[in-house]
Structures are given as C-alpha cells and as structure tokens.
Structure 1
Amino acid sequence: MSSTTTGGAGAGEPTRRDFLYIAAVGIGAVGTAAAIWPFISQMNPSADVLALSSIEVDLSNIQTGMSVTVLWRGKPVFVRHRTQAEIDKAVADDKADLPDPATDESRVKKPEWLVMMGVCTHLGCVPLGQQGDYGGWFCPCHGSHYDTSGRIRKGPAPLNLPVPEYAFISDTRIKIG
C-alpha cells in the first residue's frame, strides 16, 4: 500500500487557509482597537481640567504677616507669610496635646511660608484667618479652632487643614499641584 498526500503541501507547512485566518484575525483586532479608542480617549481629562491641575503663585507681593487666598481645583488655598512670632508659637505648640498630631516642620517647606487648603475638615466650610483661640484660623460654622500652623486644636474638626502638594520654583514663586 502506498500512502497518498492531498493538497500538495506537507503536514507542517503553512497553507493559504492559515494565512487567510491570521490576516482576518489581525484585521479584526486592528478594527476593534480603532473602534474602542474614542471611548477610551474620552475618559482623559479635558483641557480646562488640566489647566487647573496646577497654579503658580507670586509671593513677592505678600508682606510678612499677610495672607492671600487663591483658588486651586475650585477650592481655596491659604498662602500665609508668617511672622517670626507665629513661627515660634507654632514650633512651641509641637509638644501640645493635638487631636491630629503633626509638627510645624512637617507642614511647611520654608518656615516663613505656610501653604494649606482653606477647607475645614469638619463639614467643608471656609475658616476665617487670624482668629480663634490660637491666633490661626477659626471656622464659625461649628467652632473649630486651628493654630498658626493650621493644626486643629479645639472643636469638632477631626483633622488639620490639609497641605497640598507644592514646590518653590524660585524664592518668590510657588507651584501648587
């Protein structure tokens, strides 16, 4: 008995059918990716959101003892040029019994500049500056008192005023975000 081969190609060699199968799967994969890409792309942040992701603040116009409030991501950020007395008081209060313990050094990059979110950690009100029992910030809505480093000292707020991500670009400019 003799063996016969059909189709003219050996058992291990690719055939025209194999090529058509691989080409069809490849074209299908590329087509699926092209169809899905707009749906994935629309989830990226828009240009106006990216523009708000960081801001620069000029510090040269802020005199010692003054504060400015800037908006970042739709929320107020307090930038305070602290006096030496405020810095000394904040450092002295590091050893006080704090509800949310944090040293003044851990909250600032340069002692004379305090940068923090201006949103009370109790219910999201905006505290008033240089008021309250500790000379820092006072939230009149529910009576939270913050010290000269923005740490909660008294009242219902559970946490310190948060410090956003920021960096000094130069001696007179910071970038928040």
Structure 2
Amino acid sequence: MKWPRPAQPMTGPVIPIASESSGSNFDFRLHPPSASLPSHSHSHAIADTPLAVNCFTMSLSSASSTLLRTCARQQLPTSRTASPFASANERGSTLKIPNFSKYQSNKNPRSNQVFSYFMAGTMGLASAVGAKATVQDFLVNMSASADVLAQAKVEIALGAIPEGKNVIIKWRGKPVFIRHRTQGEIDEAREVKWESLRDPQADEDRAQRPEWLVMLGVCTHLGCVPIGEAGDYGGWFCPCHGSHYDISGRIRKGPAPLNLEVPSYQFPEDETLVIG
C-alpha cells in the first residue's frame, strides 16, 4: 500500500493517548510515513511500532485488514489484568489504610477492662446518688408543712370535762367528740346485743377506758355533723337524713351504713388524752 507523501515533513508535537481499560498513558510523535510500504513488511512494522500508535494510525488512515486483525489479537490490557484505580503504594494515594498502632495501649487487655468496669460502676453510683437526692428533695417539698404537722396530734386535759358531758375539738380539720360517760351509760352500751346490729361492734372495742368515748363527729352517711345527746337512743342524731347513734356511737337507725369512726388515741397520763 502506498502512502501519500506530505508536502512538508511532519514533526508534530507529542500527543498523549489514554487507554480507558488500563488507565496508562502513551506518548508518541507523528512522523511522516514512507512513500511505499511493502506488504511483506507489515508484520515487522507492527511489531516495531507501539500498539497504541498502530491502533491510532489505523483509525486515522483506515489501514488494511491485516492491521485490524493484529489489533484485535493484541488487545490493550483490560480490567481483568490491571486495576483501573491507583495503587495504594503510590505517593499521596487515598487508598492507604491509616495506622493506629501508636494509639494502642501497651497494657494488658485485662487491666483495661478492669479500668472500664471501674469507671462504669463509678458513674452508675454517682447517678444513683444524684437520683436519690432529687427524689428526696421532691418528696420534702411535697410533704406537709409545719403548721399541718403541728395539728397531727392534739393533747386534751380530761380533768376539765365533767361526767356526762360532751366536748368537741378540732383535729386535722375534723370535729372529734369526747364523751365522759356515766356508769349508767356504760352499762346501757354493754347490754346491747351488738351481734345483731347493722355494723356489729362491741363497746369494749370502741373505748379503751369505759368512761371515755372518743369518736370522729362525722356522719358515715354523707359527712354531716351529728347532734349530741339526741336521737332515739340517747346518743347522737344526724338531722340531715335521720341517722340515730347510741351512747357508744353505733348506728341503730337511719341511712348511715357504719358506726362513727374511732380515731387513734392514747392516754399518756391519767388525766391526759392525746389524739393522733
């Protein structure tokens, strides 16, 4: 095949050719071909010429089928033989795995575990103490004030209450009946067959001392305040709905379901009563 001779020699610049499959760069300089290239010298020319130059020349000049077959046989490197990415050994490569060996502790791993457990336990203990203090402060703020606690207990001098009389005092915002009963009233209260009552309760269970009867002055029906020394049984009577209580404060007639409540009290001295 004869090549056309250029008018002037071609001494062009170096043109880089990049292969997409190999990522490599080839530099070559374009030179004018000879006037005629014998057919038997195709293989020598192809063997002596870089592969990228031959393929590039083929694309420019539409070379013969022999050159096409040679380029097909001698393919450029693919991704199966060479990685398209840069090597990790190259300078400035971002594929290098960082080395953290200088941060590694030289101590025994068991000692590190002990230290970790100690720190976790210390933080847990500190958190528990803080939570306890928070809850305790909250409960203290929600507790009763000093004036309310002062009314938690009431002390009464019993010597000022004559026999056969009632005294009403205020305890925790509620009225309290204190009755100094006579011997006749005590006998009357104990002669009743309490087993057949609506709210069965013996008089001995309601009075620590027979002569002193202490009860909350609140009707068990709707919370009214009964009247003392009234009613059909000589005890207390609720005028709101007609509940009758006997001399022991037990319900005997009317809508009230339960007896008058007995609060917690004690006798620290013979003439002193403490409620609460």
Same fold (TM over 0.5): yes
**For structure 1, which runs of at least 5 residues remain unmatched after alignment?**
none
Q: Give the corresponding residue for 2:110.
A: 12
Question: Which range is displaced more, 23-32 or 69-78?
Answer: 23-32
Cα contact 2:159–2:271 (8 A) shared by 1 = yes
> Could you tell me the TM-score, scaled by structure 2's length?
0.58
Q: Which has the higher contact order (CA 8 A, sep 6+)?
A: 1
CA–CA distance in structure 1, aligned partners of residues 222 and 158 of structure 2: 30
Map 1:7-156 onto structure 2 (within 5 A).
7-14=105-112, 18=116, 24-95=123-194, 97-156=196-255
Q: Across the two proteins, how many residue pairs are aligned to each other?
A: 173
Q: Which has the larger radius of gyration?
A: 2
> Could you tell me the TM-score, scaled by structure 1's length?
0.88
Deviations 1:46-85 (A, max 9, x none): 1122111111111001111011001000000000000111
Deviations 1:75-113 (A, max 9, x none): 000000001111010001144731101000000000000
CA–CA distance in structure 2, aligned partners of residues 7 and 60 of structure 1: 84
Letter matched to residue 7 of structure 1: S
Cα contact 2:195–2:201 (8 A) shared by 1 = no
Q: 1:14–1:41: structure 2 CA closer, same or farther, 3 Å change rule?
A: farther
| Structure number with higher helix proportion | 2
> SS of the residue aligned with 2:159?
coil
**For structure 2, which runs of at least 5 residues remain unmatched after alignment?**
1-100
**Identity among equivalent pairs (%):** 54
